[in-house]
Structure 1
Amino acid sequence: MADHRLLEKMLDLPEFKITDLKHNENDIRIYVEKKDKPDICPKCGTVEPRLRVHSSRNQEVRDKNILDKKVGLIYKRKRYKCMECGSTFYELSDSIAPKSRLTNRLRDYIAEQSKRRSFIELERELDISNVTIRDIFLEEMKYNLECGLDIETPSIIGIDEIHIQREGKHRKQAWAVICNGDEHTIMDILPNRNKATIVEYFRNLRNPENVEVVTMDMWSPYRDAVYETLPNAIVVADKYHVLRIANKVLDTLRKSYKGKLSKEQIKALKHDRYLLLKREHDLKPLPDIAFRDAWFNEIPELKVAYELKEEFFKIYDSKTKEEALRRYKEWKLKIPPDMKEFDEVIKSVEAWKTEVFNYFDYRITNAFVEGINSTIRAIEKQGRGYSFDVLRAKIMFCINHKVERPSYGEGVFYDMKFGGFNRFNPSINMRTKDYGVPFDDIIEALNEGLL
């Protein structure tokens, strides 16, 4: 009995007494029952009622690990009959919810740990299903998910999408990532990239008039949403998405020349495609340029296509918008009539001409958003299929935001004497400012295994 009292102290669940204990190399099972009878009947409300045990059942409940062994409580839950009213009821426990298979403290442990560790890691530690861990995490995050975020409005916003969650065998759902270009923080992650979703988000910004520039890829719903909701914003089409179209066209042309080559040459040209897609100034004289020129001798049309690609890239070397527009016009005239593939470049640029050439006024790209997207993918990969709510909560609510708080004496003072705010405080408009989650902190948390 003395041993059991010592074990009860170690178990630290004062309402229970231990009746037995079994263990092996992996698990510990502790048999418990409540020390005291209920002091009130939940049916008739009688205090200190006359009760007798009507029946009982063993309920297996998981608890926190002990010495790296998984712990199960075999709780003998009694069903009492109230002799005052004749009704029966099961006793309640302070440590275990009525229908739960986990102790309250284990749920609290999972809720806290799941903010900083992957569900897979917790599943391995506790031998509890990934689904259960996810549900506990989302319940912990429920308030934050429903309330949303009150983030400061920057002068520069970057929008991009990230394709992660599979909705079918092949299709993936795109989530929009909204970033602060001034502070390099994530402002929020949205469940899709539809215009209505983006419009709703921008309309709820604290100060939409503060936005001066929005960078994005050439996705029309983004552009339409900006023009509809941000009155002072200029849209800049991301430079690298524009240039990627020219590279795509060149690669399409490379594939079209297969009919002129042997099987061995087709395989070799596929291997050497990087020589065509890299910028000329990034190629080494030997062996890169030598191999590239050998292909040009074999396929003269490939040289023409390559030079057109390079000339298109050089438009972005222009010092002014006027120079860029002139170079673009000259470039179009150089396209041979039989190279219709470059019409795709022209079509895209013409559809986004204002936004493409806005770059030369602001020199801003979407690279800062693209960089954090790769980190988000790594977090999702580590978690093996996080849902949208889980991934958003992990990033937006489990990492400290960049916050700027007023210094002492700069906030609004409440006048206890007169029951109102002190309107004579010259710093009455000072408040805490939330800029979102810093990119560097997300990367650091990922590298330290905290997500």
Structure 2
Amino acid sequence: MLKPTFTCPDLNSFCLLDALGLVVTGQLIRRDRAILECRVAEDDPWCRGCGGQGVPRGTVIRKLAHLPLGWRPTALWVRVRRYRCADCARVWRQDTSQAAAPRAKLSRHAVLWALKSVVIDRMSIARVAAALAASWHTVNDAVLTAGRQLLIEDPTRFDGVKVIGVDEHCWRHTGKGSHYVTVVIDLTPVRAGIGPARLLDMVPGRSKAVFKTWLDAQTQGFREGIEVVAMDGFSGFKTATSEELPEAVAVMDPFHVVALAGDALDQARQRVQRETTGHRGRSGDPLYGARRTLRTGADLLTDPQDRKLTAVFAADEHVEVEASWRIYQKIVAAYRCPSKPMGKQILTEVIRSLRRGIPVKLVELKKLGRTLNRRAADILAYFDRPGTSNGPTEAINGRLEHLRGTALGFRNLTNYITRALLDTGGFRPLLHPHLR
């Protein structure tokens, strides 16, 4: 084992003060915090107006919250000299901009530590503020400002984006005004197999106009680079894509296609339940008892579940439910098929079978058929571009829900968008030179 080489203890280096242009002159360890008395390393007694030499006129103390050492809040008390020019009577102080921004209450290291804690460690602002012994608003403002400067306003953030996903997201559930935003996700890393999806942007509102306006605001090079847009069944996103990205391929992801078929199955089951029993599903009703089994893939059914479905379908009055169930299972089987060309062929046949010849009684399948035939090109495009779906977009929505839970909700949409971009923007902050 190699013997380590030690040097003399250096409190300036240990506390990262040498990079701030400060020198420790004293320390005070309290039970609740540590206080380091400092002075500015480089003296600058020369007048910035006439160049004359200044005369010392006392000192003032600038108090800064520093990054916690051993999770003990640490404060810097910087003694700043004041000078007065003997020639022009100008008064000035020593420059402490290397240690902190003008009028800031956090040192530059404290700001970066807070940003790393929020972005990498996913800590709440309240927990970071407690570790710094600073107010919530002070830490929140510092994190949002630094995050926008270092990460969000990075000019290369939109480079290399070829596949995007678009979806809606509910950012709050109470209060007046719009509760929804449109989220745009970069799916390029997922498609290439090099990393997770990341949030590109979040725009207030959910409509064709919102997505179209966002696309129009991007550079021509960005729009020309987009090859695929994954989306749900909302026609507004499809129309905006066709108008702004005529060369891009729209892909309706499997999750929403299966969800449409599952909704049709549920609606058929509920309708037959009411028609045959005269009431909604209750405990003991065969259809109500099989509601979850009906949504289970046929290849995943256990023997008891298979027997339950056989008993349900044995009744003549349940034939419409069985017809809807078989369509649902064919759609699921198409997406689970290991061969993409074969899966595409299966789903194509299902869509064609729903085009005409459906009994009038099966209103749910007729409605499903109209939707699938209208979006057939988008649905089948998935099989030509495997791996392109809105699944990662839904995962981002889940992480945003976790963010809102950690923060106990948001009231300011601007702050929420910034925090969301920092939390799920995929900036790889560990590689960022300012966050190492």
Same fold (TM over 0.5): yes
For 1:133, the aligned partner's letter is V
What residue number does 1:190 align with? Answer: 201
The answer on 1:118 being equivalent to 2:148 is: no
For 2:291, the aligned partner's letter is R
The match for 1:244 among 259, 264, 267 is 259
Question: Is this contact kept in 2: 1:39–1:48, CA < 8 A?
Answer: yes
Task: Provide the secondary structure at the position in 2 that maps to 1:249.
Answer: helix
Give the Å deviation of 1:310.
1.5
Give the Å deviation of 1:329.
4.5
The answer on 1:150 being equivalent to 2:132 is: no
Q: Deviations over 1:343-371 (max 9, x none)?
A: 431331233234335557x374644x414
The answer on 1:290 being equivalent to 2:307 is: yes
What residue number does 2:181 align with? Answer: 173
Q: Deviations over 1:152-180 (max 9, x none)?
A: 64xxx452426263385483323021323
Question: Is this contact kept in 2: 1:311–1:331, CA < 8 A?
Answer: no
Give the Å deviation of 1:248.
0.7
Question: Is this contact kept in 2: 1:199–1:225, CA < 8 A?
Answer: no
Task: Provide the secondary structure at the position in 2 that maps to 1:133.
Answer: helix
The answer on 1:370 being equivalent to 2:379 is: no
How do 1:4-19 residues align onto structure 2 when only pairs under 5 Å count?
12=17, 15-16=22-23, 18=25
The answer on 1:46 being equivalent to 2:51 is: yes
TM-score by length of 1: 0.68
Cα distance in 2, alignment partners of residues 49 and 284 from structure 1: 88
How do 1:310-329 residues align onto structure 2 when only pairs under 5 Å count?
310-314=326-330, 317=334, 319=342, 327-329=350-352
Specify whether residues 302 and 76 from structure 1 end up closer, same or farther in structure 2 by C-alpha distance, changes over 3 A only. Answer: farther
Q: Deviations over 1:256-290 (max 9, x none)?
A: 4356458852798656421111233322221x123
Question: Is this contact kept in 2: 1:216–1:366, CA < 8 A?
Answer: no
Question: Is this contact kept in 2: 1:199–1:228, CA < 8 A?
Answer: no
> How many aligned positions are there?
384
The answer on 1:138 being equivalent to 2:161 is: no
What residue number does 2:31 align with? Answer: 25
How do 1:88-107 residues align onto structure 2 when only pairs under 5 Å count?
88-93=91-96, 94-107=98-111
Give the Å deviation of 1:183.
0.9
For 2:122, the aligned partner's letter is S
Specify whether residues 356 and 202 from structure 1 end up closer, same or farther in structure 2 by C-alpha distance, changes over 3 A only. Answer: farther
Specify whether residues 65 and 312 from structure 1 end up closer, same or farther in structure 2 by C-alpha distance, changes over 3 A only. Answer: closer
Question: Is this contact kept in 1: 2:253–2:391, CA < 8 A?
Answer: no
Question: Is this contact kept in 2: 1:33–1:75, CA < 8 A?
Answer: yes
Give the Å deviation of 1:39.
0.8
Cα distance in 2, alignment partners of residues 325 and 9 from structure 1: 67
Give the gaps of 5 or more residues in structure 2: 1-8, 204-209, 335-340, 408-414
Question: Is this contact kept in 2: 1:296–1:303, CA < 8 A?
Answer: yes
Specify whether residues 46 and 203 from structure 1 end up closer, same or farther in structure 2 by C-alpha distance, changes over 3 A only. Answer: closer
What residue number does 1:344 align with? Answer: 367
Cα distance in 2, alignment partners of residues 314 and 363 from structure 1: 20
Give the gaps of 5 or more residues in structure 1: 402-449
The match for 1:224 among 222, 230, 239 is 239
For 1:49, the aligned partner's letter is G
Question: Is this contact kept in 1: 2:168–2:182, CA < 8 A?
Answer: yes
Question: Is this contact kept in 2: 1:325–1:357, CA < 8 A?
Answer: yes
Give the Å deviation of 1:241.
1.9
Q: Deviations over 1:114-171 (max 9, x none)?
A: 5533242645643454513333333322541x45432164xxx452426263385483
For 1:348, the aligned partner's letter is T
Give the Å deviation of 1:41.
2.6
Q: Deviations over 1:201-221 (max 9, x none)?
A: 58433854x94x654332334
Specify whether residues 358 and 8 from structure 1 end up closer, same or farther in structure 2 by C-alpha distance, changes over 3 A only. Answer: closer
Task: Provide the secondary structure at the position in 2 that maps to 1:265.
Answer: coil
Specify whether residues 283 and 201 from structure 1 end up closer, same or farther in structure 2 by C-alpha distance, changes over 3 A only. Answer: farther
The answer on 1:387 being equivalent to 2:416 is: yes
Task: Provide the secondary structure at the position in 2 that maps to 1:22.
Answer: strand
Specify whether residues 118 and 10 from structure 1 end up closer, same or farther in structure 2 by C-alpha distance, changes over 3 A only. Answer: closer
Give the Å deviation of 1:100.
1.6
TM-score by length of 2: 0.70
For 2:303, the aligned partner's letter is P
For 2:172, the aligned partner's letter is R
Specify whether residues 31 and 190 from structure 1 end up closer, same or farther in structure 2 by C-alpha distance, changes over 3 A only. Answer: closer
What residue number does 1:396 align with? Answer: 426
